[in-house]
Structure 1
Amino acid sequence: MIRFENIEYFWFLLFGVIFLGVYMAYNSWKRSASKNFSSHKQLEGINPNTSDTKNILKFVLLLLALVFLVIGLADPKIGSKLEKVKREGIDLMLVLDVSNSMMAEDIKPNRLERSKMAISNLIDRLQGDRIGIIVFAGHAYKQLPLTTDYSAAKLFLSAVDSKIVPTQGTAIGEAIDMSVESFDEKEHNKAIIIITDGENHEDDAVVAASKALEQGIKVFTIGMGLPDGAPIPLYNDYGGQTGFKKDKDGKTVVTKLNEDMLRQIAAAGNGAYSRANNGSSGLSKIFDEINSIQKKEIETKQFTDYEHRFQIYIFVAIIILLLEFLINKRRSKWARKFDLFGKLENNK
């Protein structure tokens, strides 16, 4: 397993993108300017020893050196010792609604982003629990299997948006069923936390919660939205808002929090319901309920010793820079001797 100690250094890779853009723009301008003043044959006569191929090769080597240097600065570490670790906790499946209605902005910045912030805060407060992530809209999808790697959980969470599912809708029941199937058969206490606006259009979520409880799995719900509701914004491919979703009659669709549905799901799953608003994510109440569940010993395997590997990448970067320095921009004498096409032109 590889992890990076200083991931903020990866921002320096943006300089590589900038350098590439400037280099391509400069070469384009250079070719355009050359055509205005002389032909390609005349340019070769003015400076016959210049090698465009070597110039490109030198630039590519510089970019590679930058990549390896940045990776080295980020300080990659490789896990060298895998050990069994015992800890007390529960198995917790986080179920997140990513349907278009979660883009409504009655809760700032919008329902989905606020939900992700709430989950991130929950992860920060967990100790020893295994967590997994399932996202759903028209269908449910497993985003992350059960793990104690909270850093990985946050990484997967950051990639969640409303575009990662191909079918729109709100299949809460299917998401509950998938959560139940995602738990293993170990004798750990288990719970499901559903974060949604409660607009269920696909199945019977209350029945699914009852079936989960029959297997000893509690179901908690967090209502993300306000009772008055809000319109659903529409965006283009560049992230700019183009308007609001409308129905077949041309009226703006207003999505409202369905608290009754979420209360019924929580009751059927012997859990609790909490509502988020602009002042609170509704997390504290649910977290207290989760903590009241008896925790059992969980045995997992994880890397306990990590070895630094930045030296390898720094060394490779130095070798590439030396190679770039040794490459001459001018054509070699050997290449000029075998310039057959040039000789043919001269003979003509």
Structure 2
Amino acid sequence: MSFSNFVAPWWFLLLIGVALLTAGYVVAQRIRRKRVLRFTNLELLERVAPKRERWSRHVPAAFLLAALALLTVALAGPTAEQRVPRNRATVMLVVDVSLSMKATDIKPSRLEAAQSAAKSFTEGLTPGINLGLISFAGSATVLVAPTTDRPAVTQSIDGLKLAQSTATGDALVAAMASIDSFGKVVGGAEGPPPARIVLMTDGKETVGTRKAFDAAEDAKKAGIPISTISFGTEDGVVDIEGRSQSVPVDDDSMKEIAKLSGGEFFKAASAEELRRVYDTLGEQIGYEKKQADASKPWLLLGTMTAMFAAAAALLLGQRLP
């Protein structure tokens, strides 16, 4: 631990006082010993005075000096890196609702498993996070603008409907536009809150006015990382107009989008894996590491040690130190 971990390290100057008190106590004990040896009949004293351990009479003073040292550390304001809930952030949850999401390689279907995991993610986010929802197939639709109203988001997740095509790039553009609009409203003196896009899809981009990779590069410039979740397996099959069509998951595209935006890629080949991914994202998004106040343990130890000093003085010397 360095002085940079303390809010007010100058309080450590009080330790000089503690050191002086320690030295003064030692000197006082030596002077007292000399006086006792000079003026006392030792033979008579040994016969009439009860014997006790010499070290025991120093216990109260030792506890008191230790308490002063501990309380000095508390006054210096120690800090430590702690996991704390975010006070402000914006997250756009972007969910693919193309026809490939009705594949049943993930039980009961990709869409139903995605809805269940997304609702759990929504409900588990810390209160300070503003969460929005976008669904996309042939086009992108902003279902919920960033808000702390979790029931509104979960209700919209329940209402997701399948449609044709996959316009991933347009969905990312819509997400960035929502984040930008919200940031201008709530930014204030601190500026817009930090933002992230969580993109969950299972297939390749098929349509759209803006390519997904280009949108990812724009997100990088805007400082909005995209966490991509590639959801599904290579064995996905759907029935479209009476014909069976293979819909394998497209991991490579999701990896590239995450890389270009400065985000992370996650692979989920089952409903359980998807829940774990969302749990991980919830921890990353909802909490952050900060240097926070860590003086309470020192204050508690100092107070308890001072109480021990008083108790020892009463038990051993029948007086307070």
TM-score, normalised via structure 2 length: 0.56
Q: Give 1:155 deviation, angstroms.
A: 1.2
Give me the identity figure in percent.
Answer: 29
User: Quick check: 1:272–1:286 contact (8 Å CA) kept in 2?
Assistant: no
Matched, 1:159 2:159: yes
Match of 1:283 in 2: 278
Matched, 1:206 2:201: no
Q: Which residue type is aligned with residue 279 of structure 2?
A: S
| CA pair 129-176 structure 1, distance change in 2 beyond 3 A | same
Q: Give 1:287 deviation, angstroms.
A: 3.0
Partner Cα separation in structure 1 for residue 267 and residue 219 of structure 2? 22
Q: Give 1:245 deviation, angstroms.
A: 4.9
- Report the structure number with the largest CA radius of gyration: 2
SS of 1:138's equivalent? coil
Match of 1:113 in 2: 112
Partner Cα separation in structure 2 for residue 210 and residue 181 of structure 1? 15
User: Quick check: 1:245–1:253 contact (8 Å CA) kept in 2?
Assistant: no
Match of 1:178 in 2: 174
User: Quick check: 2:236–2:249 contact (8 Å CA) kept in 1?
Assistant: no
The structure carrying a bigger helix percent of its residues is 2
Q: Give 1:89 deviation, angstroms.
A: 2.7
User: Quick check: 1:92–1:191 contact (8 Å CA) kept in 2?
Assistant: yes
1:1-348 alignment, distance < 5 Å = 88-127=87-126, 128-162=128-162, 165=163, 168-183=164-179, 184=182, 185=184, 186=187, 187-203=192-208, 204-227=211-234, 229-233=235-239, 245-246=242-243, 252-278=244-270, 279-281=272-274, 282-291=277-286
Partner Cα separation in structure 1 for residue 174 and residue 97 of structure 2? 16
Partner Cα separation in structure 1 for residue 284 and residue 212 of structure 2? 21
Q: Give 1:286 deviation, angstroms.
A: 2.9
User: Quick check: 2:239–2:245 contact (8 Å CA) kept in 1?
Assistant: no
| CA pair 211-149 structure 1, distance change in 2 beyond 3 A | same
Q: Give 1:288 deviation, angstroms.
A: 3.7
| CA pair 147-158 structure 1, distance change in 2 beyond 3 A | same
Partner Cα separation in structure 2 for residue 194 and residue 212 of structure 1? 12
SS of 1:88's equivalent? coil
Give aligned pairs, total: 190
User: Quick check: 1:220–1:271 contact (8 Å CA) kept in 2?
Assistant: yes
Q: Which residue type is aligned with residue 290 of structure 1?
A: I
In the TM superposition, what whole-angstrom CA distance separates every residue of 1:171-228 from its partner, at most 9, and x where no partner exists? 000000000111122210000001100321125211101101211111111111012x
TM-score, normalised via structure 1 length: 0.52
SS of 2:138's equivalent? coil
User: Quick check: 1:140–1:174 contact (8 Å CA) kept in 2?
Assistant: yes
Q: Give 1:124 deviation, angstroms.
A: 1.8
Q: Give 1:292 deviation, angstroms.
A: 6.0
Q: Which residue type is aligned with residue 91 of structure 1?
A: T
RMSD between aligned residues? 2.0
| CA pair 264-245 structure 1, distance change in 2 beyond 3 A | farther
Q: Give 1:160 deviation, angstroms.
A: 1.0
Q: Which residue type is aligned with residue 116 of structure 2?
A: M
